[in-house]
Amino acid sequence: MYKKGFIDSRTLMFSIAAYYVGTSLLSAFSTAVLGHEAWLAAAFAIFINLFHVWLYILLIKNFPGKNIIEISIEVFGNFIGRIFGALYFVLFFSYGFLNINVLSGFITENVLPETPPAAILTLFIAICCYAAKKGPEVLLKYAEVFFMVSLGAILFNSILLLKDVKLTNFLPMFSYPVKEYVKAAHTQGVIPSSGTFLLLMYLPNVKDGKNIKKALVKGTIIGWIIMVFIMLRDVAILGAAMKVFGNPTFETIKMINVAKFFTRMEILYAVILIMMFFFQISTIMYCNSVAIAEVFTLKSYEMLTCPLGVLILCFSLISFESSAQHAIWGENYAAMFSTFFDTVLPVITIAAIFIKNFAKKRSALPRS
């Protein structure tokens, strides 16, 4: 257990909501499938989101103050439990280099096209490493600030876009086969839920543990509401064009032009997006480091952050050649990848917990 600083359940709640917002600002997984009808999938995704929260509550209720890897070791024993821990590291590491790859694509295509990605990402990773080494108390200290700033920017931009809203952009509806809605809802539900699962690594640092369940539920619902709001706004502005854009929200923001004074608001969007990526990737790097330290029973995780940062950077530079290639992978494989790690493995762990508890109760019964 690596308790470097403490956070309260309110910070955990805003961290979950902030992770949802960060994912919503850039994710186009469901729009690639349904276009302007993607908001329907996002609306139904809450059931998947809350199912995951229910799973995680079942997972942690018998192990207060322990993270997901510590729980796995408690349930399965040292050998199998550490194999589960290694699998979770694979998940966290993948989130790291995939997120960096997305950020790299956004910056090189929209912000600094002439600057080599490696130069920008090296500086960014170095800052994230520093934040991750400082631990949860520092890392999540500004989660609420990040969330509030992002929410303020989203609402401000939405007000400026009111004059461009066209309700006819929501039509036609239900024009795709049912399986497409199911696929999109699954993707839109699973990907943001990965942030909630990731933040289970911070549970040993939550000082008011009795409020963790409420924090998980509230953070998820707040994040989901904002995710759906962003998608509804983008549909109202872009309509059917949603399907052709790799980043619909960025294209929506670019359309802001009020009295030739409020223009180029995509710069504000870029700043907010980079800020949210800083929060997400720093969190991922902390979880990566703690996961490895837990698996190999190391005394400290801090020494691992920089080497892992270098590995994440290298993988991000070679993983996908373009944002389009990444989007194709996301549309076809991201949901299945996340489902295995943050749904199937927790279900197996919960089943093992129930079997062990049942066997313990049976053995405690008096024999006739």
> What's 153's domain CATH number?
1.10.4160.10
Q: What's residue 259's pLDDT? A: 64
Does any domain span residue 4?
no
3 lies in some domain: no
Flag whether 245 is in a domain.
yes
Structural domain boundaries enclosing 102: 9-354
Q: Could you say which residues of the chain have pLDDT below 70?
A: 1-5, 26-29, 259, 261-262, 322-324, 326-327, 331, 365, 367-368
- pLDDT at residue 363 in the model: 77
Query: Is residue 232 a part of any domain in this protein?
Result: yes
Please give the C-alpha separations between residue 49 and each of 45, 246, 287, 290, 344, in angstroms, as whole numbers.
6, 24, 21, 25, 15
SS3 1: coil
Residue in the structure block whose two tokens are 């931009």: 157
Residue 37 lies in a domain: yes
| H or E, element range at 133 | helix 117-134
Residue 2 lies in a domain: no
pLDDT at 2: 57
Establish if 363 belongs to a structural domain. Answer: no
Nearest Cα to Cα of residue 24 among 209, 153, 130, 165? 153
CB 205 within 8 A of CB 7: yes
Task: Spell out the long-range contacts of 107-116 with Cβ–Cβ below 8 A and sequence spacing 24 or more.
Answer: 107/274, 109/323, 110/247, 110/250, 110/266, 110/270, 111/270
Is 1 inside a domain boundary?
A: no
Paired residues of 258 in beta bridges: 262
Q: What pTM value is reported for the model?
A: 0.90
Count of domains forming the chain: 1
